[in-house]
Structure 1
Amino acid sequence: MERTETNTSIKDRKNQENEAKHSEKNVLVSEGDPPKKKKRPRWITRDMAEEEGREEVLRTTFNEFFIYSIFVILMTIYVTGIHHRKAFYLTKGLTQQFVERQFDTVNDAEITFLEITTAADFWIYAEGHMMDSFYWEATYSTEQADENAMHILQENRVLGVPRIRQVRVRNDSCVVHEYFRRLFLNCYDMYSDDAVDKETFGLGKKTAWVYSPQKETKSLSYWGKITTYGGGGYYADFAMTRNKTAELFAELKDNLWIRGGTRAIFIDFALYNANLNLFAVCKMAFEFPTTGGIMTTADFRSFGLLRIRSNYDWFVMACECACYLFIVFYIFEEIREILYFRLKYLARFWNYVDVFIITLTLVSGAFSIMKMLMIKQELYDIMDNGDKYGNLEYIAWMHLMYNNLIAVDLFLIYVKIFKYLNFNRTMGQLNNTLKNCAMDILGFSIMFFIIFFAFAELGYLIFGSEVENFSSFGVAMFTLLRTILGDFDYQEIEAANRILAPIYFLSYIFLVFFVLLNMFLAIINDTYSDVKTEIALAPDEMQMTEYLSQQIRNLLRRLGSKCVSEKSETKSEINATLRQIREVLKKCGFSDLEIEMFFARYNVDPLAEIGVADIDKLMNELEDILKGEDVKYESSFVRVSDFVAQQERLEQIDRTIGKLVEQVKILLLKLDQMSNVRKVRNE
């Protein structure tokens, strides 16, 4: 009889548990039968490990960070090794010789290259100081000059000969207003592809007077101060001797090579320094704006092209090859994550960083290979044709693009280190702060740029015709950005407009500097405080130091070492088990409050000493619950169904209290009315 009653009670208990399984708030067995475990992939990346558990995240993070650290070291050696540390001194020497050095003009006034303003100044500079810089009579007092070569600053040999080239525009490239057509017969617009003059002029012979397209000159377009100029034009190569070059300049000058349609003149040359194994591609530009005068710019680019010279160069090349092997590995890793996450792959920020790093490395490698294949043929052509222009412009452009790509690539490689530091909440504060305040910053940016663009447009319209820092809308924007950092010339705008300048300056400082900038800092500070609070309140998780110490103890145990403390080992295992339980409950849908209540059932305190028996008891009962097996619960055990019933009772009490409050309000209202009636009667 007792057995029958016992079986009946067991069946009732099973029925109650089955009803609790179908309840929405029963998170332990809400899906009915326990879900089937996913088959663990053989190759797990850090992002994939987030679905496996905390310990797996730490394991993959440590492994990937170790491999990535080797890649960063190799990439740093490779990028810094191909960048010549002495290139600055060659550029500085050329700048001092051609740009900063003074020369005498017609009126015996000393000016520099940057102060050239007329065609007369240009010819004095070309026939005097520039000729002296190209044709050295002797290298040193005991040496004779090489008549078949040109040297600059004694140590730098010019490859081939320099070239002078000009671009022109047509006389009908613009239209004179009808009021002034009798006064102005010629009209030359600013340079553009549509306005280029391709007609023969002057002597009508040789390339100096006959237009040559870019395919013949093999010169690249140049982005000057005013506009971008094409690679074609009218050109003449220097001679190997000073006298013949002087005759060339005299012919150009006497026959008015520079005329009203001239818009730019370029002096191009390339040189090589054998002491440093460095090349330099140089361009001096003289722009003739439509307003008259001359605007000068100089561009000297020093770089190394012949890499293999010492044992260290071989080591750098070996590091380069190793870097590309790492890139191949990371390509397969990204393919693995794409196949695993599918469309979710696009929702992860660091995946875009990985793709950019791989793309930039491959593109820069392609530029490097093309440059190595071209430089050999170009140098042979220059050596075989020493009396012609040594054109290395295209190789210099390829090296510039290669250098920019590899520099940005290395920058992103260093930034990616933050991805592996986010395993720790303290180290991930920056990432969490930026992520949490992204929407607030986006809303603030809209408000900021509306005011910022308004001030930039106002400054451009008021001061643009007199102040260089406001000469265009883009320049005005950068000027206002510099103002935020304290770099601003107030006297310059005050001289342009004494009335509006102080109003403009004070209003900008008040609105942007004192209001908007402090709002931006407040958004960052508030979000950072919230992140710090979340870190303080977050439940304890296994840290990298604990994981590494655990792995070291396991390794020592396998090696037979007896120095591992059993007490500390048991305690670490218990802490690890608690974290595993917490992670399992979170995956099942528990909230942090419910997890703490679950631990409270077994008197589990993370700060207190916990026995092995308590952990075993907790784990056994939890496994039985997840499997749906019969468990002999203690009388004090609180089931999930009890939580549901308690929640319903609380809601019923809440509704009852609400009705009581309404009744009390009605009663108080009636009492007020009765008191008013009594007052009226007494009166």
Structure 2
Amino acid sequence: MVKEIKLLIKKRQSYIKEFWSYINWGIIVCSWAGVVIHIFRQTELKKLSNSLENVKGLKPISLTFFAYLDSLLTYLTELKKLSNSLENVKGLKPISLTFFAYLDSLLTYLLSFCCFFGTIKILRLLRINRRLSLLTLTLKKSAKQLLGFFLMFVVIFVAFNSLFYLLYHSYVRHYSSWLDTALTCFQMSSRHLSTIPDLKKIDTFIAAMSLFLFILLVVFMLTNMFVSIIVENFNIVRREPFNHENEVELIHFTIDKIRQWLSMSTRKRKIQTKTDPITEFPEKIDELMLAVDKLYGNTKR
């Protein structure tokens, strides 16, 4: 975090424009937030355990396993068991598990985002290799075009989402809320049309017209436009010369670092640089004259 703050002070506007700076700050924010949430969760767990210590006739309850559950189904089952075990206990103050469950879910979300940002950062470590860096270079090359495309996509998608929600929210369960409608529209954009039979039961003409417009504009036009932008910029990046000739290969760099950590002697790898033949010509002449002198001296003897 200190390193990123120093880079922000040093680079200023150029630091804000870099994509990897947001990835680094995402990892930092999610990590620190996860530490804070973990402390709060352990505090709530300790309070809940202390409230159950002096209650007689209560069966032992394992809260450790409950604190580290990830599966939603198992989580709800364990929560139900814990609530049932507290129902018939007299003299026990009401215990709210809602805040505890909220902290556990929030911590899981933060850990998921940390893994997400950390996995994306692997692409930066592999940027030395030309083929592995094509994805990053392509996205960087097509950033402006993709920004305009996504603005247009959001406008059209929100328009169709509002249309489907207002037409079918009272009839079809998949369109009962605005969020469910958005998820259904995303499924339809990937050619997963499982809601067509339900729409036919309402009004065949309106369903056919709305689906036809959605498939024409979103599935065919916008999807093909997105693919064409990526392919065009990929071809441009692939033809451009690679400007990392002087960088050391990642595997050699890693081996040298390991040897340094193990206090082993390492020789510095010389980077081959192109030299001008005209500047080397006098040196070559001197070497030639020395070789001729040695040869002449040997034959004379």
**Conserved 8 A contact 2:190-2:219:** no
How many aligned residue pairs are there? 245
Note if 1:410 corresponds to 2:115. Answer: yes
The verdict on how the C-alpha distance between 1:538 and 1:356 changes in structure 2, with shifts beyond 3 A counting, is closer
Q: Which residue among 22, 27, 36 is the counterpart of 1:357?
A: 27
* Superposition TM-score, scaled by structure 2 size: 0.69
Superposed, 1:361-440 pairs within 5 Å as 361-385=31-55, 386-387=89-90, 388=92, 389-440=94-145
Q: Which letter maps to 1:376?
A: K
The amino acid across from 1:577 in the alignment is T
Q: Distance in 2 between matches of 1:411 and 1:520?
A: 23
Matched letter for residue 498 of structure 1: T
CA drift of 1:463 comes to 2.5
**Distance in 2 between residues matched to 1:490 and 1:530, nearest whole Å:** 41
Please give the alpha-carbon distance, in whole angstroms, between the structure 1 residues aligned to 2:115 and 2:255. Answer: 34
SS class of match (2:156): helix
Aligned equivalent of 1:515, options 218, 221, 224: 221
Asked if 1 retains the 8 angstrom alpha-carbon contact of 2:128 and 2:247, the reply is no
What's 1:446 paired with? 151
Q: 1:418 to 1:384 in 2, by over 3 A?
A: same
Cα distance in 2, alignment partners of residues 482 and 345 from structure 1: 37
Q: Secondary structure at the match of 1:384?
A: coil
Q: Is the 8 A contact 2:7 2:15 kept in 1?
A: yes
What does residue 78 of structure 2 align with? none
Match of 1:469 among 142, 161, 174: 174
**Partners in 1 of 2:231 and 2:250 — Cα distance?**
29
Q: SS of the counterpart of 2:53?
A: helix
Match runs of 1:218-229 below 5 Å: none
Query: Is the contact made by 1:375 and 1:395 (CA closer than 8 Å) also made in structure 2?
Result: yes
- Deviation at residue 517 of structure 1 after TM alignment: 0.6
What is the aligned partner in structure 2 of residue 455 from structure 1?
160
Higher helix share: 2
CA distance in 2, matches of 1:550, 1:376: 47
CA contact (8 A) 1:463 1:497 kept: no
1:71 equivalent in structure 2: none
Greater relative CO, 1 or 2 (CA 8 Å, sep 6+): 2
One-letter identity of the residue aligned with 1:456: N
Residue equivalent to 2:296:
none
Q: Secondary structure at the match of 2:52?
A: helix
* Root mean square deviation, CA, Å: 3.5
Residue matched to 2:205: 499
In 2: Cα distance, 1:502 partner to 1:462 partner = 13
Q: Contact 1:424 / 1:543 at 8 angstroms: preserved in 2?
A: no
Letter matched to residue 149 of structure 2: F
Letter in 2 for 1:464: H
Seen in structure 2, the aligned counterparts of structure 1 residues 425 and 390 have a Cα distance that, compared at 3 Å, is same
Q: CA deviation at 1:382?
A: 2.3
Task: Give 1:436 shift.
Answer: 1.0
Measured in 2, the distance between the counterparts of 1:485 and 1:351 equals 32
1:533/1:615 Cα in 2 relative to 1: closer, same or farther (>3 Å)? farther
User: Aligned-pair distance for 1:526?
Assistant: 0.9
Instruction: Give how far 1:525 is off.
Output: 0.9
Structure 1 moving runs of 4+ over 6 Å:
558-561
Kindly state the Cα deviation for residue 404 of structure 1 after the two structures are TM-superposed: 1.5
Going by fraction, where is strand more abundant, 1 or 2? 1
**1:95-142 alpha-carbon deviations (Å, 9 max, x no partner):** xxxxxxxxxxxxxxxxxxxxxxxxxxxxxxxxxxxxxxxxxxxxxxxx
State the one-letter code of the partner of 1:453.
V
In the other structure, the counterpart of 1:307 is none
Q: Match of 1:515, as an amino acid?
A: M
Q: Which runs of 5+ in 1 are unaligned?
A: 1-330, 582-598, 605-612, 618-683
Match of 2:5 among 322, 325, 335: 335
Specify the SS of the correspondent of 1:427.
coil
Listed as ranges, the gaps of 5+ residues in structure 2 are 56-88, 285-301
Identity, % of aligned positions: 23
Distance change >3 Å, CA 545–CA 391, structure 1 → 2: closer
The corresponding residue for 2:299 is: none
Shift of 1:464: 2.9
- One-letter code aligned to 1:508: F
1:364 and 1:530 map into 2 onto residues whose CA distance is 42
Deviation at 1:414, TM superposition (A): 2.0
Task: Please state if 1:530 is matched with 2:200.
Answer: no
Normalised to the residue count of structure 1, the TM-score between the two structures is 0.32
Q: Which is greater in Rg?
A: 1
